[in-house]
Amino acid sequence: MRTVLLALGFAACVGALGAGCAATSAGPVAGFDGSWTISKRGLVVKQAETLTQAAVREATAFCAAEGKQFRQIDLKESPAGTLSPQAESALTFGCDPVVK
């Protein structure tokens, strides 16, 4: 029984590490003022700048699908460190009409 529990624990740890290599994402989430937010997290191997670049690409594609252009409103980046094992990036943006 103990061997089975150890094996299951090991499998869970390996699975968590594998899943942690990819960034997790939330968004776009609508704000009350017409803005949108995309949040991304990744383990130590992911830098906050990499997460931000992915969020900007996602936001740009989101606005383009609406026939509008991306405008950054706010950006919060937190690197992975001692207190947090995950790098984080939260991008707040708006979709403005395309000026011709």
Where exactly are the structural domains of the chain? 23-97
What pLDDT, on a 0 to 100 scale, did the predictor assign at position 54?
Answer: 93
CB-side exposure of 68: number of CA atoms within 13 Å? 11
What pLDDT, on a 0 to 100 scale, did the predictor assign at position 56?
Answer: 97
pLDDT tens digits along 23-79: 688 889 999 999 999 999 987 566 888 899 999 999 999 999 999 999 999 999 998
Q: Which of 54, 42, 53, 36 is CA-nearest to residue 78?
A: 42
pTM reported for the whole predicted model? 0.71
What pLDDT, on a 0 to 100 scale, did the predictor assign at position 92?
Answer: 97
Greater model confidence, 12 or 60? 60
